[in-house]
Amino acid sequence: MPKEPAEITRNHHIILLIIAFSALMGSLDSTIVNISLPTIASSFGVDISIVSWVVLAYLLVLAGLLLTFGRLGDLMGFRRIFIAGFTIFTAGSLLCGLSTTIWELIAFRALQGIGGNPG
């Protein structure tokens, strides 16, 4: 049974909102941490040169895997890769919030970079 035109339009709007929200979260997450670097450095008791890896880990992994995830999207389907990436990104965000050392935070930010690619 074919879908009604109103239902198709509603589904497209929901999909557009989800994609727009994930793009906003990805770009926001890559920049908003810069404001908190001094607070993160004092919280973990490390130098600002070490805490700068919190941002660098995310951006290096994000940029390094961009083409890989584009190709995976071609091979496996963009929807599947998008959902997997969104799940990894969300899990990485949770783990960043639960990290107890600066090295855990850096590793979990790299995990977020993996998940931030499809978004």
DSSP-derived secondary structure for 89-106 = HHHHHHHHHH--SHHHHH
Range of the domain at 29: 5-116
Ranges 1-15, 27-41, 100-114, most confident: 100-114
Supply the pLDDT for residue 3: 62
Supply the pLDDT for residue 117: 79
Q: What are phi and psi of 3, to 5 degrees?
A: -80, 150
Structural domain total, the chain: 1
Q: Give the integer Cα–Cα distance in Å for 92 and 67.
A: 21
Length of the chain in terms of residues written: 119
Cβ contact 44:101 at 8 Å: yes
- Reported as a pLDDT band with limits 50, 70 and 90, residue 20 is confident
